[in-house]
Chain A
């Protein structure tokens, strides 16, 4: 049971609160509460099903940003054995907003890279809330080139509000770092599969996702700008974020229709944060399917495949 509830989850929070209360009291008095609890739990499930069946785009954004949603390191630690983190861009610094290294994904040696948001105050600060600086993108480039040299497939986990907007990031060439990352993605002679697990925030996200296959979790979002940013520019008011979220077509189903996303991974009822193990397993299955589909393609074919995929985009609208 999550400890953070989103504003539209109020009825669910109330029900789950009641269950907790019952259990607490039941423990004390030895009264049989099983029946009442299971009745309430069925109600929670009905409520969750009803709510999550018709999430608005803005609600999806909130789910994608849920603080208890599993983040990149959790996927990596669950799915990748012998995970061996590698660090540093060899030019300036180590940026913990990018995590990555070598490991074995379901038996195959590979290289994984992720944007890590952190799970508590301390780790959020350490990982800079998943907002990558130029040294982070340069680290990612270094790792991708390493994978290329040794013929290892690359898996990227995308989850960022956007590249870090700061004076230091600009001073060290944030734009160049992102542009170069996209270029390195497109040049790889090994399979590159990207999975948007939460927020796919603009250039900061596409820098790791110019991939052969781009997957999204059901409630993940992927957008050119945050709904708040878009609202403040086009509506001249951040309060219009809900409308902006709708107009931006940032949900996994819309992006699938547009050919930006190749496959959508269904999430457990109530979102990945309600059952992280199941969500991560489903993600692992999907990643395995995609990697298998790229098996046997040589370097030139993989590059051409990636180019063709991006060149085909935007030929039709919704």
Chain B
């Protein structure tokens, strides 16, 4: 095992190898193990057509399913200090960031901020990207949420957040922890402006994200089966040394324990959000409106 076998050989192999059929043409449903064809999944908003399991979904797909005619504008996150603590574990944080950006796009971060028309009215939507370093919240996510709040206030629009995160970005250590009060300030600003702040909890939402902006919504919606909680299940198990109850920390469990208002199927998300926002803002019923452009 050396540099040649570890690094150079796989690279060469990758160059020479014949491109085989992409592996992701077929995908096994993590819940019922049914093989699902990627086009069917896409058409069904990444919901298993056998068991209704909601698979994780990329922000771009989420946003185009949500906004009127699938049209929206994304807003670049404010520039923030990269690697403020010069953090290094087994890898440098800067290298981990580069890897994540290589996989997810050049300026990607764990949050996407978008705006557009939702049911004919302007809305600001922030979506956490779990594929980017586990959706972890660092300074960029905090700044992004503050920016989203600002956009909502400037446009007198509701702020809708789709949460999905493992929690704080450990590599930003204490500064990631400080995003809990900072994102809370973002939420407070939206509420003070008299605008709705709606959280859609998606799989998985845990740690410092749940314990800050994701639990402060005027309304909490969860996607079916989503894992929602504060402590990780392994940590809890190590503490209590018992098996966890069935369905623990799932959306349905959180509904039963009073933490979410409703569990909404992905197919019904757009209509539900439009209805809630219109009711909160005392707008006319949708059928009275001119048809969406």
Chain B positions within 8 Å of A210 at CB level: 180-181, 184
Asked if B258 is at the interface (CB within 8 A of a chain A CB), the reply is yes
CB distance from A234 to the nearest CB of B (A): 4
Residues B231 and A165 in contact, CB atoms below 8 Å apart: yes
Residues A313 and B175 in contact, CB atoms below 8 Å apart: yes
CB distance from A205 to the nearest CB of B (A): 8
Candidates A169, A310, A314, A315; contact of B230 at CB < 8 Å? A169
Residues B176 and A313 in contact, CB atoms below 8 Å apart: no
Chain A residues 217 to 245 lying within 8 A of chain B, measured CB to CB, are 222-225, 229-230, 233-236, 240, 243-244
Candidates B81, B181, B230, B259; contact of A206 at CB < 8 Å? B181
One digit per residue, 1 when the CB lies within 8 angstroms of any chain B CB and 0 when it does not, for chain A 185-223 equals 111000000000000001100110010000000000011
Asked if B208 is at the interface (CB within 8 A of a chain A CB), the reply is yes
Which residue from chain B places its CB closest to the CB of A179 in the assembled complex? B215
Residues A224 and B258 in contact, CB atoms below 8 Å apart: no
A249–B173 Cα distance when bound, in Å, is 7
Given A183-B216, A235-B89, does the pair A222, B174 have CB atoms closer than 8 Å? yes
CB distance from B36 to the nearest CB of A (A): 31
Residues B176 and A224 in contact, CB atoms below 8 Å apart: yes
Residues A202 and B177 in contact, CB atoms below 8 Å apart: yes
Residues A179 and B85 in contact, CB atoms below 8 Å apart: no
Chain A residues 287 to 318 lying within 8 A of chain B, measured CB to CB, are 307, 310-311, 313-318
Residues B208 and A202 in contact, CB atoms below 8 Å apart: yes
Asked if A250 is at the interface (CB within 8 A of a chain B CB), the reply is yes
Residues A203 and B211 in contact, CB atoms below 8 Å apart: yes
Chain B residues 202 to 254 lying within 8 A of chain A, measured CB to CB, are 207-208, 210-216, 228-232, 235-236, 239-240, 242, 244-245, 248-249
Given A179-B216, A223-B174, A224-B176, does the pair A317, B83 have CB atoms closer than 8 Å? yes
Given A182-B181, A186-B185, does the pair A316, B81 have CB atoms closer than 8 Å? yes
CB distance from A79 to the nearest CB of B (A): 26
One digit per residue, 1 when the CB lies within 8 angstroms of any chain B CB and 0 when it does not, for chain A 73-89 equals 00000000000000000
Q: Which of A3-11, A152-160, A170-178 contacts B (4 or more CB under 8 A)?
A: A170-178
CB distance from B49 to the nearest CB of A (A): 32
Which residue from chain B places its CB closest to the CB of A237 in the assembled complex? B90
CB distance from B84 to the nearest CB of A (A): 3
Chain B positions within 8 Å of A250 at CB level: 173-174
Candidates B139, B142, B173, B212; contact of A248 at CB < 8 Å? B173
Asked if B188 is at the interface (CB within 8 A of a chain A CB), the reply is yes
Chain A residues 255 to 270 lying within 8 A of chain B, measured CB to CB, are 255, 258, 260
Chain B positions within 8 Å of A30 at CB level: none
CB distance from B114 to the nearest CB of A (A): 23
One digit per residue, 1 when the CB lies within 8 angstroms of any chain A CB and 0 when it does not, for chain B 148-172 equals 0000000000000000000010111
Residues B230 and A178 in contact, CB atoms below 8 Å apart: yes
Asked if B257 is at the interface (CB within 8 A of a chain A CB), the reply is yes
A186–B210 Cα distance when bound, in Å, is 18
Q: Which of A167, A172, A258 has the most CB of B within 10 A?
A: A167
A117–B96 Cα distance when bound, in Å, is 37
Asked if A163 is at the interface (CB within 8 A of a chain B CB), the reply is yes
Chain B positions within 8 Å of A244 at CB level: 89
Chain A positions within 8 Å of B182 at CB level: 310-311, 313-314
Interface of A is mostly: helix
Residues B185 and A310 in contact, CB atoms below 8 Å apart: yes
A174–B257 Cα distance when bound, in Å, is 11
Residues B239 and A165 in contact, CB atoms below 8 Å apart: yes
Residues B184 and A179 in contact, CB atoms below 8 Å apart: yes
Residues B177 and A224 in contact, CB atoms below 8 Å apart: yes
Chain A positions within 8 Å of B245 at CB level: 167
Residues A170 and B181 in contact, CB atoms below 8 Å apart: no
Asked if A166 is at the interface (CB within 8 A of a chain B CB), the reply is yes
Asked if A180 is at the interface (CB within 8 A of a chain B CB), the reply is yes
Asked if A247 is at the interface (CB within 8 A of a chain B CB), the reply is yes
Chain A positions within 8 Å of B230 at CB level: 163, 165, 169-170, 174-175, 178, 203
Residues A175 and B210 in contact, CB atoms below 8 Å apart: yes
Residues B236 and A182 in contact, CB atoms below 8 Å apart: no
Residues B173 and A223 in contact, CB atoms below 8 Å apart: yes
Q: Which of B142, B212, B235 has the most CB of A within 10 A?
A: B212
Chain A positions within 8 Å of B228 at CB level: 175
Candidates A183, A225, A260; contact of B168 at CB < 8 Å? A225
Residues B81 and A173 in contact, CB atoms below 8 Å apart: no
Given A317-B81, A317-B86, does the pair A258, B215 have CB atoms closer than 8 Å? no
Given A169-B230, A174-B230, does the pair A203, B175 have CB atoms closer than 8 Å? no
Given A182-B212, A233-B170, A248-B173, does the pair A170, B236 have CB atoms closer than 8 Å? yes
Chain A positions within 8 Å of B172 at CB level: 224, 314
Binding site for A on B (CB under 8 A): 80-81, 83-90, 139, 142, 146, 168, 170-182, 184-185, 187-188, 207-208, 210-216, 228-232, 235-236, 239-240, 242, 244-245, 248-249, 257-259
Binding site for B on A (CB under 8 A): 163-167, 169-176, 178-180, 182-183, 185-187, 202-203, 206-207, 210, 222-225, 229-230, 233-236, 240, 243-244, 247-250, 255, 258, 260, 307, 310-311, 313-318
Known: A175-B214, A203-B211, A314-B142. 9 other contacts (CB 8 A): A167-B245, A175-B215, A180-B216, A224-B168, A247-B85, A247-B89, A248-B170, A310-B182, A315-B81
Give 10 CB contacts A-B under 8 Å: A163-B230, A186-B185, A186-B188, A203-B230, A223-B173, A230-B89, A234-B170, A240-B89, A258-B84, A314-B182
